[in-house]
Structure 1
Amino acid sequence: MLHLTWNQKNSQQHDEPPFSNLPNLRQLVLKVYDTYYMEILPDLLRGLKSLEYFRSEKFFTKSLHPDTFKYTPQLKGLQIIHSELSALTPELFWPIPNLQVLDLSYNRIRSLDFLARANLPALTWIKLSNNMLSVINVTAFQSLPALTYLDLTGNPLTCECSNSGFSQWLQSNNQTQVVNGHQFTCAFPVSQQGNKFLDFDISSCWMDASFVCFISSAGLIVFTLLTSFIYHFLRWHLAYTYYLFLAFLYDKKRSKDTPHQYDAFVSYNIHDEEWVYREMLPVLEGEQGWKLCLHHRDFEPGKPIVENITEAIYGSWKTICVISRHYLQSEWCSKEIQMASFRLFDEQKDVLILLFLEDIPAYQLSPYYQLRSLVKRCTYLSWPQASQHAGVFWQNVRQALEGVERPDERTHLLAGHPGFNQ
């Protein structure tokens, strides 16, 4: 046995480790009385291949190199106390699988996770008193099959659900003797300070895992079915409700006495812009003198698109929807006709004019049931059938913009669009 008192003279570095010539030494005690910092090299114990017991006091400061015990494979007893160790790694213990006694008392260790992977099947005795352990992970003890003695006195245990596993293990464990386990007191939270650790009721911390899985699975299934149902059957209704709400808010903010800025807002797809400029604008603005609102020309830059659409529809006497196959496939055009139809339903006035650029068969309109319902109640015109009578077509548009509606003319217009014959 070698008992060595460490001072500044001992701390001077040498070419060889200090114990390299002691291969038969079985016990080593290192104790430091000074308070200065010293650098401990990882090969400090090189040469001590027969060492079975090692004790140090105030020797290691704050941490140990993973290779510290690489040269002591026969180590059975390890005591490192008063060293302010805060964290240890499992790799530190891999070279000493025969360790039976471990004393790490009077340090600042906060977690025992290193024991879970330390691979110490022969460890029977552990002392971890007066450390900073507040939450004990019982996995560390379950990985030590030979553990029969455990000292955790003087640790600031917390009496919360995070320690429920340790509390249960403490009461049900029959193999390991836990020193004064029934006398442990709570340090946290403040409301539990001074109470016995085992008096903390952990029943509220446990919940049947199978019940949780059942509730989660059932909730997920119901949510999936409900989402599918809403998407398939109610998605348009929800969209209509949303835009109707926006229109309602805009109508509340808009003064009833405010005059309309435009005669009509023209809703069209970009693919039909050439027709709008070549055929519509020269007649409606040039010849008839109507003031039209076009999104690319009259929308306010920087304002949200939905707000621009709402103001354009409610700021115009009427809305002209230039409908084509491209129009039906456009998301923004769909929003515009939805908003215009909401105004139609809200004000109960003939404010919507449907102008078809193409003959669209009824089966192609079936996914757009809102448009089909509008066709039955609103003025609509067909450009393909008016190609030989453009003057009559634009005169009908003028009558629609003026609000003139004669029963015989409306019947003529409805019959003039074979795509909607029932």
Structure 2
Amino acid sequence: MVLFFSIFILIVKTVFALLQDKCIFYKDVEEFPAEICDGKTNTAICFQVTNIKEDLRGLPSDLQNLCIQMERATVSSYTALDPGSFSNFVSLEYLEINGCFSEISPEAFTGLVNVTSLNLSFWPDDCCEVAIDFSVFPSLTRLILSQYSLSLMANNVFDTIPQLKDLRIAKCLKDLSEVLCRLANVKPLERFILHQELYSLNFPNCSLINPSHEYISTVYNIEMVFLILESVQHIDQGALEVLGNLFYLEFGLKEDLLRELSLIGVNKIHTLKFGVDVLNIDELCSAAKLYSIESISVYYWTINFPPTTTTISEGIQYQYLSICEEIKEIVLVYESEVAGIVTLLDVHLIFQIFSNLSLIDVSSHVLRPTDFQSLCLSFPQSVKQLSFMYLNSNNMGKVISHQFMCFTNLEILELVASNISIIQNCSFIGLIKLTHLNLSKNKISYIYQNTFSGLYGLTALDLQENPISQIETNSFGHFINLCTLLLGDLNFPPHMSLIKLNLSDIFGRIPYNLSHMIISSGLRPMQLVIGSNTTLNKSLDFTIKGQYVTIEDCNRPFLTSIVTLQINAAYVTCGKEFIGKYARSVVNLEVKSTSSDDIGDLVVINELVHLKTIRLENIDLSKQTNLGIMFHNLTKLRTLFLINCRILFLDGSLVKDLSALTGLALMQQDHVNILENFVEHLTSLRFLHLQGLNLYCSCDNAWLVSWVKDNRQVQVYMYRPTMKELQCLADNGMDHLNFILYTKENCSFSIEFVLFVSTSAFLFFFMIGVLSYQCAGQYIKPFYNIASGWFREALHLNGKQRYRYDVFVSYSCKDEHWVINELLPNLEQRGPPFLRICLHSRDFRLGQDIVENITDCIYASRRTLCLVSHNYLRSNWCSLEMQLATYRLQVEHRDILNLVFLEKIPSRLLSSHHRLARLVKSRTYLDWPLDPEMHEAFWHRLWCKLNSYKD
């Protein structure tokens, strides 16, 4: 009893350990967001890991990608990474660990010969100091160390990685020498990214890590070097000389940076980004010439241009020289915009000084419309080279006719938040290559027929956050290549109680390539008319915003092209039906109601069988009369968001068809009951996000506590409140109780009681089983064999029974010579028809249990023939065959059992075999004749009996 109880306790502990698995395995990349674990397939993600070797047990050995989130701990409680921690994952290619260890054994990563990418990171504002040996990664090409100090690592730590091509280091360096001196002999390195906050940029001093080596004697040949250096105030001569070339260099705010930049000693800088209080263009151009800089981004407060002066009678005349031909991309951000201050920028100086620009971004400046026309006259060649122009946050006010006439190679033009209220006709004439035009966050009210004349190649037009009050007929008619139209907010005159927008009216014909469209009427009702029968060439992402939105021409092909449908309105209907009834190809559906009482019947959602994502927000689902079937038939749905959707209870019937669901977010403000059967059908669920959860104090919800804590498959996120802080509403509707305490006191049994009941029940049934076997054991096995044979035969019935054999012969192996020499020749070879004989020595299946073989063959044969002899009576197997054949005879009530006596058996011997004795008294049998002349008659009579198919 004590031994049994101990074993039972051990089993229970094992089960609980399995339930506390911290890893989730994903075979398909669609099961989780791409930003998680580098968006890879065949991935496992493990959370709150304390011991890698133990917590990762059970993961598949062919795992290719593994991401581990170690449990946060204090420095004194960091665990060690033991030898062989990853020995089971020899197929691993990507490994990411977020955490720190007190020690990493040299053999910890043994076996990871296929890992090509390793990412080690630590918590923000902390540094992990531990020695690591990377020589066990022969295939490693990319290494990321974030918040990992190099102080305890070997001087040649990177030399031991033979194929390292990409190295990224962030934070935790005290001096740049710590990493530069360790890269001296890393020949295959192609990309190096360093993000570090350093006060001083010193010349490399390798004696800091190796007293015998003070300087680096060679210049590295690294193709792409990215340096993001914050807070640098001092720069040594030749500080970065060993790097040779820099692809990207970024500094934080530093005065006199441009003058000191010559000290770093590199040969070339492709992209430079920095911040200064006073931007001196002369110094900027000098730096550009020195390092052949092609791209510049500057955040500044004041800008100084470098004039050359000559004195003439009228006074001083300033002339500006073209001195920055190297720079092809320039971003000038005026930092004073944060205080609501803008400054006037003379773009003539920009194009004169930077004459080879292909990209210009002059955010937070005042630009005059006439500036652009004069640019065409003064710098026609410079303007024609421009491909990208961003003029954000300036006070342009209006766009005048032919303003951009000479910008013939411009592809992208952004005029965001430029206070534009008027666009004159033919303003964009000449922009023959323009593909993207962004006019959002302006004050545009009228769009005339010729407003966008000349933009035949335009593919994207953004007019969001403009108070558009009128769109003339065919204003967008020439947009034959348009893919994206972001239109709103429509603000038609107040006397028009209903905003009416006819797509065929503004387009003439809806563009075939339209793939993304947003239409908004703000807080006003809208009537949208499709009109056109155009069939789109691409899938359409369609967003519609407004108050009450009705759509006409719902049967047009336009709606059938929608794959992503976003609604932010009180309701959107086609006639009296929800729009989804006509958008049957929708894959992603988002409905955000501005008036949950008027949303209408959403049951049509269950007809959108292609849906993969649903997001419902601010909808009173408790008023949906067909809520129980709303999500039925959605067998492809993978993500479901229910945000502030009032619902009284969640049960299994609601999600019975959501077997493919991998992500579920419940963000409820009202109280809800979540029944345990709610998760029964969610077999593919991997993520559950619970935010602001409010429960009723009910034992129906008690299962949630243990499920959140112990489930192996689903990662549960709880935010405001956490599970420990979760409260529930009491029956009186006033008190709020701690949910966990409530369930412990009212809904759970102690583990001791459960073990006692389980043990008692097991012992009771065990004793009953033993007693039953003692009393009726002799009947159990025959009954089992008969029943299994009968059911096995019944499952194969198809109208008339079919048998593999005509006769199963039950005989003693000591009589086999008679069977071979007499029975087989006279039964199998007599015919036609020929009998199919089943013999145990020939037809039993190898490896199968003997009793099962006997049962199978008896029930696979039309009849059973027993060859009775003294040997037969002494054989236990023959006795079993006789017993099973007799049971079959009693159940089927057919003439299926025949007896042949090979020898004279005295009655006294038969009397001890009760079953055979009863058969002899009730059935006719044959005796093997001693006279050879009677053998032929014997075989003829037996053959006729066995060949009779009339049962």
What is the TM-score when the length of structure 1 is the normalising length?
A: 0.42
What is the TM-score when the length of structure 2 is the normalising length?
A: 0.20
**Higher normalized strand content (fraction of residues):** 2
